[in-house]
Amino acid sequence: VFGEEAFLPPTQTEQGGLFAVQNFEIGPLRAEIGARYERTAVEAREFDLLGTPDQRRSFNAYSASAGASL
């Protein structure tokens, strides 16, 4: 948010993620599994109107999935 009406501090966001997907067949069964990891870090720089110090937060997200069909 920029300008005179800005009420949020400027932020910088960094994100990174890893994922893996595996497909396989066992006879007539077809299956797939997957997993994902993501890390996000957000840094809010000082905002003059509020006089708050710099703040940094980080978050981790995990997910997994599996499916099968005949």
| Residues present in the chain in total | 70
For 43-68, how does the pLDDT look when each residue is reduced to its tens digit (9 = 90+)? 887 655 555 667 889 999 999 999 99
d(CA 58, CA 64): 21
Local confidence band at 2 (pLDDT 50, 70, 90 cut-offs): low
CA 8-17-57 angle, to 5 degrees, is 30
Global pTM reads 0.66
Q: What percent of the chain has pLDDT over 90?
A: 61
